Chain A
Amino acid sequence: MENLYIPATNETPEINFRFSEHQLHVSGESYPENAMAFYAPIRASLHNYLDRTQAQGAVEAHFSLRYFNSSSTKLIRSLIALMHDSAQAGKRIVTHWYHDPDDDMMSEFGNDLKDEFRMLDIRVVALETA
């Protein structure tokens, strides 16, 4: 299936889903006016990929978000939930959740996801960002 690339804007993160390489990247800031409108097609595309993928190795997901607003929160969580369902069904997925070492909120959020979605391999990684 076709890769999905959406460049970053001031209010939305860069989406770089290289399905052909089983590499999924979400990076930047997320505070669009209508978070549902932004994330619904991304979620659909991810869902479609996870349903069909025949990846030999692990699917790798990388979330490097510097900031997201409250209405983006549930939608970002729903992307993780999709991966969790897929992992539960036997797919191998490794999800990296990067956060600035100073950003307690972002590391807590990653650890909460880890607590909630136990069947998914989530790695919370402190990383200096430029």
Chain B
Amino acid sequence: MNLSHFADFCEQAVKDGVLFYYKGEFSQNVIGAMTDTLKLRLDAVGVSGPARRKLFSTFVEMSQNIMHYADVAAADGSKTGALAVGKNGDSKYWIVAGNPVRIEHIERIKEKVEPLRSMTIDEIKAAYREQLRNDEHDKDTVSRGAGLGFLTVAREASEPLEYQIVFRSDRMEFAEFYLRASI
């Protein structure tokens, strides 16, 4: 990247209200360093109380999602993805994440996220409670957690989650999955 491209990149990031951006490998060490940085960043811009907790919670869920589900074959054996946090002019915060997934997992992801988009906050909380008490989930061999990840993010968000699947032209077996939460 030459300097004028970098200047444009920085300027665009400021325009979009970016507070934090990372793209690369996701490991617990990287996530630990990022959460420390995010806390300092939120302190610096004066985010406190519930907004801070919600941002932090969403940030951890999204980054651990990438660490657990990013397809390693798509990136030479490592778990890679991208994550950004920012603030809109209207003072709402947003978090976006993206990572490669296998084409055959797309339906499963849609089935998990799509219903959350039309649910009210009370319905989301009820679904969260039900899933928390669901002991059948242990039999799910794909899930790496408690099946509460997307529900947790939906619960923190103030608007329906947005997602996008971007198919790749170079490698047909993978797509990029992008998720956006507004806090």
Contact = CB atoms under 8 A, between A and B. Distances in A.
Interface residues of A, number: 21
Interface in A83-130: 102-105, 108, 112, 116
| SS class, residues of chain B in contact with chain A | helix
Nearest to B52: A102
Interface in A49-70: 67, 69-70
Nearest to B33: A10
Kindly state the interface size class of chain B when it binds its partner: 20 to 34
A73 B53 contact: no
Interface in B122-178: 125, 129, 132-133, 144-146, 148-149, 151-152, 155
Nearest to A109: B132
B133 A71 contact: no
25 contacts: A10-B35, A10-B36, A11-B28, A31-B64, A33-B28, A35-B145, A67-B57, A67-B60, A69-B57, A69-B61, A70-B148, A70-B149, A71-B64, A71-B144, A71-B145, A71-B146, A73-B148, A74-B146, A75-B146, A103-B53, A104-B50, A105-B155, A108-B125, A112-B129, A116-B133
Given A33-B31, A71-B148, A102-B49, 14 more contacts: A10-B32, A33-B28, A67-B56, A69-B57, A70-B61, A70-B146, A70-B151, A71-B146, A71-B149, A73-B132, A74-B132, A104-B50, A105-B155, A112-B132
